[in-house]
């Protein structure tokens, strides 16, 4: 898939205010500081489409971007550590769950995890919540440039093995990415293209 256009549409904290277009949606979510904004900018080849920040927890709204006038990329707030008050955190965590439960246009969520770390309870709990609520999702391993190829294979196998040893009969589909090296871009866009075709088919 070639990205011909990527435009910001709306930011909000109310699912009812999300775009009404009947276009397929792909939501990107992960712990704060996992490299979500960098990944979105790499995918769309737009340097400043998603706001990157050295301060974790910068994204605190549901951000819709229309891609090729054909589908929506949705940038969701990070869960976990963020320098916001408990009241604010509670608010945006609720609208994250509201989004996943109520948004009919959502066809797949991408849960981002840092490839250097073993499964974190907060990530595993969130994936289990998605599974229990029958929300399709894939795992995106980020920051692959920080490891050598053999270490990448080992980390991915170990991570997926631990998931399968837990609540999962079979680990979810996964992608290995690096925003700085553009690793995984084509695979991810091809997957979205295939899902779009099957949804519209």
In the chain, the domains with their CATH numbers are: 6-200 (3.40.50.300)
What HEC string does the chain produce? CCCCCEEEEEEECCHHHCCCCCCCEEEEEEECCCCHHHHHHHHHCCCCCCCCCCCCCCCCCEEEEEECCCEEEEECCCECCCCCCHHHHHHHHHHHHHHHHHCCCEEEEEEEEECCCCCCHHHHHHHHHHHHCCCCEEEEEECHHHCCHHHHHHHHHHHHHHHHCCCCCCCCCEEECECCCCECHHHHHHHHHHHHHHHHC
pLDDT tens-digit series, residues 143-199: 999 999 999 999 999 999 999 988 888 899 999 999 999 999 999 999 999 999 999
pLDDT at 113 over 70: yes
Question: What is the band of 17 on the pLDDT scale with cuts at 50, 70, 90?
Answer: very high
How do residues 171-181 score in pLDDT, each as one tens digit? 999 999 999 99
Average pLDDT, the chain: 89
């Amino acid at each position: 898939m070639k990205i011909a256009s990527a435009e910001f549409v709306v930011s909000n904290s109310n699912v009812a205010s999300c775009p009404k277009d009947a276009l397929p949606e792909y939501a990107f979510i992960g712990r704060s500081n996992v490299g979500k904004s960098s990944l979105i900018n790499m995918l769309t080849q737009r340097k400043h489409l998603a706001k990157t920040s050295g301060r974790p927890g910068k994204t605190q709204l549901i951000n819709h971007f229309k891609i090729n006038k054909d589908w929506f990329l949705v940038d969701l707030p990070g869960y976990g550590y963020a320098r916001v008050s408990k009241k604010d955190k509670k608010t945006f965590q609720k609208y994250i769950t509201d989004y996943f439960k109520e948004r009919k246009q959502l066809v797949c969520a991408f849960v981002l995890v840092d490839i250097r770390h073993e499964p974190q309870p907060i990530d595993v709990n969130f994936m289990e919540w998605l599974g229990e609520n029958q929300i399709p999702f894939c795992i995106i391993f980020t920051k692959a440039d920080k490891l050598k190829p053999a270490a990448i294979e080992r980390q991915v196998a170990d991570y997926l093995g631990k998931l399968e040893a837990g609540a999962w009969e079979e680990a979810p589909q996964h992608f290995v990415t690096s925003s700085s090296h553009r690793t995984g871009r084509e695979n991810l866009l091809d997957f979205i293209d295939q899902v779009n075709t099957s949804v519209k088919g």
